[in-house]
A and B are shown apart, each in its own frame.
Chain A
Amino acid sequence: MTDNKLINLVNITKSFGDNIVLDDLNLYIRENEFVTLLGPSGCGKTTTLRIIGGFENPDKGQVIFEGKDITKTAPNERQVNTVFQKYALFNHLTVAENIAFGLKIKKKSKEYIKDKIKYALKLVNLDGFENRMPDSLSGGQQQRIAIARAIVNEPKVLLLDEPLGALDLKLRQDMQYELIRLKNELGITFVYVTHDQEEALTMSDTIVVMNQGYIQQIGTPEDIYNEPQNAFVADFIGESNIIPSIMVEDRLVNILGANFACVDAGFGHNKPVDVVIRPEDIDLVKPEEGIIKGMVTSLLFKGVHYEMEVQAHGYDWLVHSTDLVPVGSEVGIRVDPFNIQIMNKPESEDEEAVELEI
Chain B
Amino acid sequence: MVKRFFERFYVGLILLFLYAPIIILIILSFNGSKSRAKWGGFTLKWYKALFQNQSIMNALYATLIIAILSAFIATIIGTAAAIAINSMKKTPRTIMVAITNIPMLNADIVTGISLMLLFVALKYTLGFSSVLISHITFNIPYVILSVMPKLKQLNPHTYEAALDLGASPVYAFFKVILPDIFPGVLTGFFLAFTLSLDDFVITHFTKGPEIHTLSTKIYTEVRKGIKPEIYALSTLMFVTVLLLLIIINRKNAEKKEPDKKV
Contacts and interface: CB of A to CB of B under 8 A. Distances in A.
A28 interface: no
B177 to A, nearest CB: 10
A75 B171 contact: no
Contact of B163 (A76, A86, A146): A76
Contacts of A89: 158, 161
A55 interface: yes
Contacts of B261: 135
Interface in B151-180: 155, 157-158, 160-168, 171, 175-176, 179-180
A126 interface: no
A17 to B, nearest CB: 10
B165 A81 contact: yes
A88 B160 contact: yes
Given A90-B176, A91-B180, A92-B180, A153 B166 contact: yes
Contacts of A102: 165-166
B262 interface: yes
A55 B166 contact: no
Contacts of B155: 86, 88
A90 B166 contact: no
B161 A106 contact: no
B163 A74 contact: yes
B41 interface: no
Contact of A82 (B164, B175, B258, B262): B164
A101 B157 contact: no
Interface in A61-120: 74-77, 80-82, 84-86, 88-92, 101-102, 105-106
A62 B167 CA distance: 24
B161 A84 contact: yes
B163 A75 contact: yes
Given A76-B166, A135-B262, A153-B166, A90 B160 contact: no
A95 B262 CA distance: 18
A76 B169 CA distance: 9
Contact of B164 (A75, A86, A90, A91): A75
A88 B161 contact: yes
Contacts of B161: 82, 84, 88-90, 146, 149
A90 B159 CA distance: 9
A75 B158 contact: no
Given A135-B258, A135-B262, A88 B165 contact: no
A213 interface: no
Interface size class for chain A?
Answer: 20 to 34
Given A90-B176, A135-B258, A105 B157 contact: no
Interface string B115-142: 0000000000000000000000000000
A156 to B, nearest CB: 13
B160 A149 contact: no
A86 B156 CA distance: 10
Contacts of A146: 161
Nearest to A77: B166
Interface string A195-224: 000000000000000000000000000000
A53 interface: yes
A149 B157 contact: no
Query: Which of B155, B180, B258 has its CB near the most chain A CB atoms (within 10 A)?
Result: B155
Nearest to B176: A90
Contacts of A150: 164-165
Nearest to A50: B160
Contact of B166 (A84, A92, A105, A135): A105
A150 B163 CA distance: 12
A76 B165 CA distance: 6
Contacts of B160: 53, 55, 75, 82, 84, 88
Query: Which of B164, B179, B258 has its CB near the most chain A CB atoms (within 10 A)?
Result: B164
Query: Which of B157, B158, B161, B162 has its CB near the most chain A CB atoms (within 10 A)?
Result: B161
Given A77-B166, A88-B155, 12 more contacts: A53-B160, A55-B163, A75-B164, A76-B166, A88-B160, A89-B161, A101-B162, A101-B165, A102-B165, A135-B261, A146-B161, A149-B165
21 contacts: A53-B164, A75-B163, A76-B164, A76-B165, A76-B166, A76-B168, A77-B166, A80-B164, A81-B164, A81-B165, A82-B161, A82-B164, A89-B158, A90-B162, A90-B179, A90-B180, A106-B166, A135-B262, A149-B165, A150-B165, A153-B166
Interface of B: 155, 157-158, 160-168, 171, 175-176, 179-180, 258, 261-262
Interface of A: 53-55, 74-77, 80-82, 84-86, 88-92, 101-102, 105-106, 135, 146, 149-150, 153
